């Protein structure tokens, strides 16, 4: 006789535990520990330390200024200069942007720009290194702290970066530059200026680096998830003012994805885009040149096309009456005959309307319509009595009944 073993609840519980542990182990193996430490553990340490180190006024001001400089070096340097080549800069400007860029802890120019070019070329696809199609959390930070087969990321041309001496120099010296600009400089600055050594390290160093990183991550996540699409509804990029405010103008992402080589992200004079203002100032001084701008005509075309798509979508939600091409045919004789039989039909511009439900509500009185039943009321409707408004014509369209043909059908 065969022995049948019935699984107990304890067996099922243990199997579930094993499955959970296996999943956690696989996740553990996928963690990129250097980045995980930099983006998760270090900010956590800084947040706890801040509970024991009071924030001084001078440290707060310096942290804000240094945050702005670090962010601008990413937006004007890593992003608009190197990733998109939206303008050309002197070697001096490049060096300043490259050095300040390390203070934000976002890796080398070459790695950052290479990923960003892939993001634009393969946006919202499986080849996008931080595509929002993998989920909001993955687009925000998951892609940085989890290992991924680099062969899955779409290929892009980055020969220009490989030949740039400033880019190569920064890559060789990135780690000491990051430690110095990210932590040593702010610590020493606040220590020497106000004796706030710990505040300089915690607030102007650790927490500032973390805030710049998180703000930049918001471009990859929130600016692909929430906001308007004034230029094109194709794809996930959106204009998000909140993201623009914390990233020196990078939140106008819908425009940017469709006109990526434009040195501006916020194109209107009132758009909050300090990065654009900085580049314009440097151009006025004469240390940058060849600022790229898409023709206004092309920008306006795309914006108007998107507005038309939105309007078309809204129009589909309204009752515009039966389309004229879908109306049945009716001869003039049939029209007159049915009118004599008591049908309240009105002929205007070769379209026959059933005005039975409206005749008593006509602003000019029922008599005017009644006197034109069974006749051609085109002249009366178009000006002989009253040249009717667009609103009146829209209302009339909802009463379409048939199209006029000159011969009796059938």
Task: Name the pLDDT band for 8 (thresholds 50, 70, 90).
Answer: low
Task: Name the pLDDT band for 15 (thresholds 50, 70, 90).
Answer: low
Q: How far is CA 139 from the centre of its chain?
A: 13
Distance CA 30, CA 16 (A): 21
Say which CATH class 324-405 falls into: alpha beta
Predicted pLDDT at 16: 57
Predicted pLDDT at 409: 45
Average pLDDT over residues 286-299: 96
pLDDT over threshold 80, residue 2: no
Per-residue pLDDT of 57-88, as tens digits, reads 999 999 999 999 999 999 999 999 999 999 99
Distance CA 291, CA 299 (A): 16
Average pLDDT over residues 115-127: 93
pLDDT over threshold 70, residue 147: yes
pLDDT over threshold 50, residue 163: yes
Per-residue pLDDT of 137-146, as tens digits, reads 999 998 998 8
Predicted pLDDT at 174: 97
Percentage of residues of the chain with pLDDT beyond 90: 71
Q: Higher pLDDT residue, 406 or 294?
A: 294
Predicted pLDDT at 11: 56
pLDDT over threshold 50, residue 19: yes
Burial letters 109-142, b for 16+ CB under 10 A, else e: bbebbbbbbbbbebbbeebbbbbbebeeebbbbb
The answer for 246, left when phi > 0, alpha when psi is -120 to 50, beta otherwise, is alpha
Per-residue pLDDT of 352-401, as tens digits, reads 999 998 988 888 888 888 888 989 988 888 876 667 888 989 999 999 99
pLDDT over threshold 60, residue 91: yes
Q: Higher pLDDT residue, 363 or 15?
A: 363
Pairing mode, strands 351-354 and 400-405 = antiparallel
pLDDT over threshold 70, residue 285: yes
Predicted pLDDT at 291: 98
Task: Give domain limits for the chain.
Answer: 24-306, 324-405
Q: Report the predicted TM-score, pTM, of the whole model to 2 decimal places.
A: 0.82
Structure tokens at 13: 């519980």
**C-alpha separations of 349 from 214, 344, 365, 385, 402 in Å:** 63, 17, 22, 15, 12
Predicted pLDDT at 25: 65
Q: Which of 8-17, 110-119, 172-181, 183-192 has the lowest mean pLDDT?
A: 8-17
CA 361, 362, 365, 371 torsion: positive or negative? negative
Average pLDDT over residues 88-98: 98
Q: Higher pLDDT residue, 136 or 152?
A: 136
- Whole-number mean pLDDT of the chain? 90
How many C-beta atoms surround the C-beta of residue 90 within 10 A? Answer: 13
pLDDT over threshold 70, residue 407: no
CA triplet 364, 368, 369: central angle to 5 degrees?
Answer: 105
Predicted pLDDT at 385: 65
Spatial CB neighbours of 244, under 8 Å, sequence gap ≥ 6: 250, 251, 252, 265, 266, 271, 272, 273
**C-alpha separations of 296 from 84, 230, 359 in Å:** 19, 15, 51
Average pLDDT over residues 276-290: 97
Q: Which of 35-44, 74-83, 273-282 has the lowest mean pLDDT?
A: 35-44
Average pLDDT over residues 203-212: 98
């Amino acid at each position: 006789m065969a022995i049948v073993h019935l699984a107990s609840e304890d067996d099922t519980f243990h199997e579930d535990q094993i499955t959970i542990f296996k999943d956690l182990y696989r996740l553990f193996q996928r963690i990129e520990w250097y980045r995980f430490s930099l983006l998760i553990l270090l900010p956590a340490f800084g947040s706890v330390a801040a509970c024991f180190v009071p924030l001084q006024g001078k440290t707060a001001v310096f942290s804000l200024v240094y945050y702005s400089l670090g962010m601008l070096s990413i937006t004007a340097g890593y992003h608009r200069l190197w990733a998109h080549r939206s303008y050309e800069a002197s070697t001096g400007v490049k060096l300043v942007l490259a050095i300040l860029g390390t203070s934000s802890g976002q890796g080398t120019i070459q790695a950052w720009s290479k990923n960003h070019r892939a993001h634009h070329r393969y946006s919202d696809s499986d080849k996008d290194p931080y595509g929002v199609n993998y989920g909001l959390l993955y687009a925000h930070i998951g892609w940085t702290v989890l290992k991924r087969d680099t062969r899955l990321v779409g290929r892009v041309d980055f020969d220009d970066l490989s030949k740039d001496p400033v880019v190569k120099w920064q890559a060789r010296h990135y780690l000491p530059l990051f430690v110095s600009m990210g932590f040593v400089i702010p610590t020493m600055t606040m220590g020497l200026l106000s004796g706030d050594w710990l505040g300089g390290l915690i607030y102007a160093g650790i927490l500032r680096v973390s805030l710049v990183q998180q703000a930049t991550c918001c471009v990859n996540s929130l600016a692909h998830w929430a906001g308007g699409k004034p230029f094109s509804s194709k794809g996930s990029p959106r204009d998000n003012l909140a993201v623009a405010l914390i990233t020196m103008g990078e939140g106008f992402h819908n425009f940017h994805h469709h006109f990526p080589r434009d040195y501006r992200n916020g194109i209107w004079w009132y758009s909050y885009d300090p990065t654009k203002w900085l580049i314009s100032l440097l151009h006025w001084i004469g240390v940058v040149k060849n600022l790229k701008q898409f023709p206004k005509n092309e920008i306006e075309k795309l914006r108007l096309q998107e507005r038309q798509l939105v309007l078309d979508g809204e129009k589909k939600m309204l009752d515009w009456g039966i389309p004229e091409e879908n109306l049945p045919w009716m001869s003039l004789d049939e029209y007159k005959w049915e009118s004599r039989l008591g049908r309240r039909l009105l002929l205007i511009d070769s379209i026959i309307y059933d005005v039975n439900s409206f005749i008593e509500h006509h602003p000019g009185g029922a008599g005017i319509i009644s006197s034109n039943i069974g006749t051609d009321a085109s002249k009366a409707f178009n000006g002989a009595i009253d040249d009717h408004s667009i609103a009146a014509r829209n209302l009339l369209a909802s009463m379409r009944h048939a199209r006029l043909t000159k011969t009796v059908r059938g």
